[in-house]
Amino acid sequence: MGSCVERTWSSGETPTPEARSVKSRPNVDTSRGLALTCLFISLSCHGQVKYVVELARALAATAGVHRVDLLTRQISCPDVDWTYGEPVEMLERLSSGDDDGDESGGGGAYIVRLPCGPRDQYIPKEELWPHIPEFVDRALSHVTNVARALGEQLQPPPSDAPATALAAPVWPYVIHGHYADAAEVAANLASALNVPMVMTGHSLGRNKLEQLLKLGRMHGPEIQGTYKIARRIEAEETGLDTAEMVVTSTKQEIEEQWGLYDGFDLMVERKLRVRQRRGVSSLGRYMPRMAVIPPGMDFSFVDTQDTADGDGADLQMLIDPVKAKKALPPIWSEILRFFTNPHKPMILALSRPDPKKNITTLLKAYGESRKLRELANLVTYTLS
């Protein structure tokens, strides 16, 4: 998977660059809005990138959020689309009932691409580690410039202020790191700006190492050489030490994956959370809070057809293309030919053809369950 980092700016507080000895969110006046920056460290064609782009759009359409910056590595080479070389790209703004109608400019969601390593070639995420410090420097420069510009725009000095007076910068409110390398970038930036950090692992190095060793196809040195797994685990531990919250998809991820890390212990985390709620000292111990947010879907682009002819009218149109009011996607005819009963609901599984996606277990469970086969059709679609 690719990697990314998010940040949020608040116009009501200017964090100091001192070390973050106490992990607490600054008091923020949200009357002027927030600004969020999401940072991608490596480009990927997998689902994580789409997730973060949709997250940026959704946050930009949320009441109180002024700006979302999504930072990624800039690439200018013939192997990738030319847009990967564009320094700035504004994302289409989603309509929102909470839109405050801000016409002052500077708001919305943006993809900001920063040079990092060789600009004329794509670098696999395993080879990006030596270039992380460069990305941190460029990201910090971008954050500083945007903070000053937003300060002048959103909270300029009073009219009676001296001519030399400068507007207070609008610093990030939170930074969210996605994947290991971006988590390390997020940890560095959050510490430098004294800003809270959130982290999403997406996939974890210790769990991957454990699974690879169980398969027995690769030995430790070979795994390290191929995946730079020790460096990845080090970055994830750094993210754990800095983050205030870790976003996961399931409880299993908390207990069986994050539980493998030195920086997290489920029982200790629960005890510390109870002590915090009671206002009791944690005796210097700290652990990030784990938050389970199951995967979702953006339905804003889903176009439903009229069902005036009854509940099964739209299904009949899919089965009989002649009755369809508009052209159906070509893939539908490819899928339909495998169904003996297309009226049944569909179980759809999308993934790369990777053993860890566990498609074989899904097929086994479906094939062994007569009740499930009677209730639904199963469709698996692999992305090469």
CA dihedral 7, 8, 12, 13 (to 10 degrees): -20
How many other CB atoms sit within 10 Å of the CB of residue 229?
A: 19
Does residue 25 sit within a domain?
no
pLDDT at 93 > cutoff 90: no
- Can you give the pLDDT at residue 320? 57
Which of 47-56, 140-149, 206-215 shows the lowest per-residue confidence on average (mean pLDDT)? 47-56
Does residue 239 sit within a domain?
yes
Answer whether 109's CB lies under 8 Å from 62's CB: no
- Can you give the pLDDT at residue 247? 92
**E strand or H helix at 292:** strand 289-292
pLDDT at 2 > cutoff 50: no
- Can you give the pLDDT at residue 305? 53
Q: Is residue 335 domain-shared with residue 243, that is, in the same domain?
A: no
The mean pLDDT of 206-228, rounded to a whole number, is 90
Q: How would you classify the pairing of strands 108-114 and 245-248?
A: unpaired
185 strand-pairing partners:
none
The mean pLDDT of 148-156, rounded to a whole number, is 84
35 — pLDDT class (breaks 50, 70, 90)? very low
107-150 pLDDT tens trace: 788 989 999 889 888 888 889 999 999 999 999 999 999 888 88
- Can you give the pLDDT at residue 174? 83
Q: Which domain holds residue 341?
A: 330-382
Answer whether 14's CB lies under 8 Å from 46's CB: no
- Can you give the pLDDT at residue 324? 55
Q: Which of 34, 39, 40 has its CA nearest to residue 11?
A: 34
Q: How would you classify the pairing of strands 88-90 and 108-114?
A: antiparallel
From 292, 313, 345, give the residue that closes a domain.
Answer: 292
Which of 66-75, 269-278, 350-359 shows the lowest per-residue confidence on average (mean pLDDT)? 350-359
From 242, 268, 292, give the residue that closes a domain.
Answer: 292
pLDDT at 372 > cutoff 50: yes
Does residue 271 sit within a domain?
yes
pLDDT at 292 > cutoff 90: yes
Q: Is residue 233 domain-shared with residue 365, that is, in the same domain?
A: no
- Can you give the pLDDT at residue 172? 83
174-197 pLDDT tens trace: 898 888 999 999 999 999 999 889
- Can you give the pLDDT at residue 319? 53
- Can you give the pLDDT at residue 314? 54
- Can you give the pLDDT at residue 207? 92
- Interacting residues of 325 by C-beta distance below 8 A, sequence separation 6+: 305, 306, 317
Q: Is residue 253 domain-shared with residue 370, that is, in the same domain?
A: no
**103 vs 282, which has greater pLDDT?**
282
CATH number, domain containing residue 206: 3.40.50.2000
Does residue 2 sit within a domain?
no
Q: Is residue 370 domain-shared with residue 240, that is, in the same domain?
A: no
pLDDT at 290 > cutoff 60: yes
Q: Is residue 151 domain-shared with residue 279, that is, in the same domain?
A: yes
Does residue 315 sit within a domain?
no
87 — pLDDT class (breaks 50, 70, 90)? very high
- Can you give the pLDDT at residue 285? 79
For 264, phi and psi rounded to 5 degrees?
Answer: -145, 135
Give the burial string for 370-380 (b: 16+ CB within 10 Å, else e).
eeeeeeebbee
Q: Is residue 190 domain-shared with residue 255, that is, in the same domain?
A: yes
Share of the chain above pLDDT 70, in %: 77
User: How many distinct structural domains can be found in the chain?
Assistant: 2
Q: Is residue 250 domain-shared with residue 340, that is, in the same domain?
A: no
- Can you give the pLDDT at residue 313? 53
The mean pLDDT of 310-322, rounded to a whole number, is 53
CA 36-39-44 angle, 5° bins: 135
Which of 18-27, 62-71, 309-318 shows the lowest per-residue confidence on average (mean pLDDT)? 18-27
47 — pLDDT class (breaks 50, 70, 90)? low
- Can you give the pLDDT at residue 342? 81
| DSSP one-letter code for 118 | -
**17 vs 199, which has greater pLDDT?**
199
Q: Is 359 exposed, middle or buried (0-12, 13-18, 19+ CB in 10 A)?
A: middle
CA atoms 46, 49, 53, 59: torsion sign: positive
Q: Which of 9, 274, 42 has its CA nearest to residue 153?
A: 9
* pTM of the model as a whole: 0.76
56 — pLDDT class (breaks 50, 70, 90)? confident
pLDDT at 384 > cutoff 70: no
340 — pLDDT class (breaks 50, 70, 90)? confident
CA distance 142 to 362: 45
CA distance 155 to 165: 12
Q: Is residue 172 domain-shared with residue 258, that is, in the same domain?
A: yes
- Interacting residues of 237 by C-beta distance below 8 A, sequence separation 6+: 261, 262, 263
CA distance 60 to 109: 6
CA distance 290 to 294: 13
Answer whether 9's CB lies under 8 Å from 145's CB: no
10 — pLDDT class (breaks 50, 70, 90)? very low
